[in-house]
């Protein structure tokens, strides 16, 4: 008898945990149906950890609580949003208000896909949207992954979560 480790499949909430994103395009408050490039001097970032999302809304830093129970296969919800209160000019603040209203939308949906972004370069893309308004309201590209020492110690290479032992 040989014992083989079978990793548990990745759960929906685990697809976003530990990821860092940079927005490339956003629908503005007055351009709900069309994506426009994010202002170059006011980048929007989004990072997911186990209990929190955080980032830069363009001008101000933000954080919000979330949990694995609030992230499903295609939806996530945030609560207790906190944001700093700097002012950066009308255009930047308009972009920031648009992003924060998207992020705080209780019906927020997301999709993950691989897309060709430059020439032959492929990257993972996160799209946030709502079926009530526009399917894509913000488009992000993956810029990095985080992993804590604790996460690395818990899971053997190439697996996530607890292991299942199976007879082969």
Q: Please give the pLDDT value at position 134.
A: 59
**Structural domain contains residue 164:** no
Q: What angle do CA 7, 5, 153 make, to 5 degrees?
A: 70
Residue 82 lies in a domain: yes
On whether residue 91 sits in a domain, the answer given is yes
123-130 long-range Cβ contacts below 8 angstroms, 24+ apart: 126/16, 126/19, 126/21, 126/46, 128/102, 128/103, 130/102, 130/105
Q: Residue 74: its pLDDT value, please?
A: 79
In a domain, 25, yes or no: yes
**CA–CA separation, 146 and 125 (whole Å):** 17
Any domain includes 104: yes
User: What total number of domains does the chain contain?
Assistant: 1
Domain housing 85: 3-146
Instruction: Give domain status of residue 165, yes or no.
Output: no
Q: What is the pLDDT of residue 25?
A: 92
Question: Over the chain (168 residues), what is each successive 10-residue block's mean pLDDT?
Answer: 69 78 85 82 93 94 82 80 94 93 86 82 87 75 70 36 32
pLDDT in the model for residue 154: 38
Provide the pLDDT for residue 165: 32
CATH number assigned to the domain comprising residue 76: 2.40.128.270
The reported pLDDT for the residue numbered 10 is 65
In a domain? residue 162: no
HSE, CB side, 13 Å, CA atoms: give it for residue 87: 2
- For residue 13, tell me if it sits in a domain: yes
């Amino acid at each position: 008898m040989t014992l083989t480790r079978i990793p548990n499949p990745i759960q929906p909430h685990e697809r976003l945990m530990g990821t860092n994103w940079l927005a490339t395009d956003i629908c503005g408050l007055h351009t709900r149906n069309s994506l426009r490039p994010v202002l170059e001097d006011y980048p929007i970032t989004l990072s997911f950890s186990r209990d929190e999302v955080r980032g830069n809304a363009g001008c101000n830093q933000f954080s919000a609580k979330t949990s694995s129970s609030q992230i499903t296969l295609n939806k996530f919800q945030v609560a207790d949003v906190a944001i700093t209160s700097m002012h950066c000019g009308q255009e930047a603040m308009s972009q920031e208000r648009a992003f924060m209203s998207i992020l705080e939308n209780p019906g927020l949906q997301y999709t993950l896909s691989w897309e060709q972004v430059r020439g032959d370069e492929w990257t993972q893309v996160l799209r946030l949207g709502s079926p009530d308004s526009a399917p894509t309201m913000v488009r992000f590209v993956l810029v990095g992954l985080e992993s804590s020492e604790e996460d690395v110690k818990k899971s053997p290479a190439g697996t996530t979560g607890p292991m299942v032992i199976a007879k082969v």
